[in-house]
Amino acid sequence: MEGSGGLLGALFALIFVVIIVLIVLSPLLILGYGIVVGFQRRTRVQQYLAAEEPRLAHLLTSNVQQPEHPGGTALALGSVAYAADAPSRFVSSWRNLFGGKLESMSEQAEIARRLAVVRMLEHAAQLGATGVSNVRIETSEVFSGSGRSQRMVLELLAYGNALLPAPQR
């Protein structure tokens, strides 16, 4: 019996060590996973934008006023709700302690703006437009969660006049 008590004590000690290791390592593993997935997602979005922006660049004619155009117009819309990735949020939380420009969040806002414009241009292309004029971008912040787990989602809406071809006579 005495041998089984020592074995049982060793088993409890092993279980205790495993639980402590899991409690300590779990947040680090989750943070590491978030960083890897965040960088992968950002890379995919940047590759998508690098391919789509040149393809749709011919549609963006003016963001100031309506050019002389013989055809009709339609509203072209593109929207995106964009949450910053884990690496950007992590860096920003530390940067908030000391102040200064949040470059990682600025990069995320730029990606969101580009996505909204690309989606607007894709909508204009679906409408058969030859260009888009009078482009505007609206932004809003949407918060989800509460307390320390509250996350900001940046919502952007890009819109403009899709310049439709003149009707054939």
Q: Which of 133, 137, 37, 131 is nearest to 84 (CA)?
A: 37
Contacts of 25 (CB under 8 A, 6+ apart): none
User: Pick the residue with more confidence: 55 or 167?
Assistant: 55
Nearest 5 degrees, angle CA 65-CA 75-CA 113?
75
Domain parsing of the chain, residue ranges: 2-163
pLDDT in tens, 84-123: 776 777 777 766 677 777 777 788 888 889 999 999 999 9
Report the topology of domain 2-163. Translation Initiation Factor IF3 (3.30.110)
pTM of the model: 0.72
* pLDDT, averaged across the chain: 81
β-sheet with 151-163: strand ranges across: 73-83, 151-163, 131-144
pLDDT in tens, 22-51: 888 888 888 788 778 878 888 898 898 999
